[in-house]
Amino acid sequence: MERNLQLNWEAITEEARRRRKARGMTQLRLAALAKVSRSTVIRFELSRGDIQLSSALRILNVLDMVERKQEGNLLLRREGATLDSPIVALFAPYTGPGGAMEPKRFGSLQDLTSFLKELKVDSAAQTLAFADLERTETAMIPNVLLTMAELREHWPKQFPETSPASS
């Protein structure tokens, strides 16, 4: 199967160099963090010579230029005894970034349903969670995959933007 994939490599390497410098990071430090040689970083930044895709991805990963998904459990809790009580959603990542869990409140089950659809949560998982909410006032949806952008949008205190200097 042939695929036509085009990248603006020059723009990618320019942005990578800009981010490295904005963070006050030397090429040697970037190489160490990415577990590549300094000469690889130089070839990457100058777009000269060949480097392995795995090396380029390691460099881009250190500079937060590769979108990663965070996997975890979505925890749901009804705030009252009635079915129309507000519902709180919390995201509990399996590993990685995130501070203390931050509640996201929904005024109704319909609001929560819209949110879960936005996150592309499987309808079968939603049905099970809603049954648990009705029965026990709590539910868990396991194995939810979210991008850092989604996490920052919905739980900004738990997943704050990192300042370039702190990376």
| Domain hosting residue 136, numbered range | 69-154
**pLDDT-above-90 percentage for the chain:** 67
Query: What string of DSSP letters covers 149-165?
Result: HHHHHH-TTTSPPPPGG
Judgement on whether residues 73 and 28 belong to the same structural domain of the protein: no
Q: How far is CA 50 from CA 9, 33, 64, 108, 125, in A?
A: 12, 20, 22, 55, 46
Judgement on whether residues 104 and 127 belong to the same structural domain of the protein: yes
Q: Please identify which residue in the block is written with the tokens 């320019």.
A: 14
Please report whether residue 1 resides in a domain: no
Please report whether residue 167 resides in a domain: no
Please report whether residue 22 resides in a domain: yes
Indicate the residue among 62, 83, 102 that finishes a domain.
Answer: 62
For residue 126, the model assigns a pLDDT of 95
Q: Please identify which residue in the block is written with the tokens 């010579």.
A: 49
Distance of alpha carbon 91 from alpha carbon 153, whole angstroms: 12
pTM, whole model, 2 decimals? 0.63
Per-residue pLDDT of the chain (167 residues; tens, 9 = 90+): 567 767 788 899 999 999 999 999 999 999 999 999 999 999 999 988 788 999 999 999 888 888 778 899 999 999 988 878 999 999 999 887 667 899 999 999 999 999 999 999 999 999 999 999 999 999 999 999 998 889 989 999 998 876 443 33
Please report whether residue 18 resides in a domain: yes
For residue 49, the model assigns a pLDDT of 78
Judgement on whether residues 94 and 55 belong to the same structural domain of the protein: no
- Count of structural domains, the chain: 2
Judgement on whether residues 76 and 51 belong to the same structural domain of the protein: no
